Amino acid sequence: MSLEIVHVSAGYPSQQVLDDVHLTVPKGQILALLGPNGAGKTTLLRVLSGTLAPWQGQVRWEGRDIHRLAPKARARLVAVVPQARALPPAFTVEQAVMLGRTPYLSWLGGAGQADWKAVQRALTQTDLLPLAARPLQRLSGGEQQRVLLARALAQETPLLLLDEPTTHLDLHHQSRLLALVRDLSRARGLTVVMVVHDLNQAARYADRVAILDHGRLVAAGSPAAVLTAERLTRVYRTPVEVLTTAQGWPVVVAAAE
């Protein structure tokens, strides 16, 4: 099983953003989308989530075009952690995370035992259980970012999309969040596509990386194969060097002047 991005072109009424992007993400792997500002990373996530229809091409999960699914069926397939925080301030943390169970609730909206268990798991995984009763308006930006992740985890979908998930997080919670996503991917066979700006985070936590530039796919593959000094210097238009850790991860640093 895999996520297939099949020759996708997409954009907005006055602007084409993506041009013939073709990628496959195997089940249980993490793909990091990289590239300079305006490369089309967030637009691609919107296409993957089903909120933006492609002009051409398809997005398939297990051979099914996700854009042909009913909204409720798609919500059981893909969860999104957005870049912008749009959470009801009067809700408590627990109530906000319960929103992730919406695709499973009856038309009366009542939550069952399975729903509460999913919420508790998500709160525990994101270190939010002690804050469960706190109103969202009393949370820091980093805590609100973790609420968004917990809401997506409570949704219990096989596909998770994250748009700059470490925004507003300190170093400890950045590494903890990305390690959690990696561990869930391994344990649950969760397929993850995430937009990240930190190339070294991508190299450390992603199984594969894909670089976009001006809406086109430049390269895709393992971090070691894709994150080369020559390619990154060309795409980011600034000289870099790529070192290698003892564990074999590439480390990108600015080249000495």
> Where do the domains of the chain lie, and which CATH numbers do they carry?
1-77+157-226 (3.40.50.300), 89-155 (no CATH)
Helix (H) or strand (E) holding 26: strand 15-26
Instruction: Provide the pLDDT for residue 84.
Output: 67
Q: Specify the pLDDT at position 107.
A: 66
Is the whole-model pTM more than 0.85?
yes
Q: What's at 200, amino acid-wise?
A: N
What percentage of the chain exceeds 70 in pLDDT? 97
DSSP string, 69-138: S-HHHHHTTEEEE-SS----TTSBHHHHHHGGGGGGS-TT----HHHHHHHHHHHHHTT-GGGTTSBGGG
Question: In this model, does residue 207 exceed pLDDT 80?
Answer: yes
Phi-psi region of 236 (alpha: psi -120 to 50; beta: other; left: phi over 0): alpha
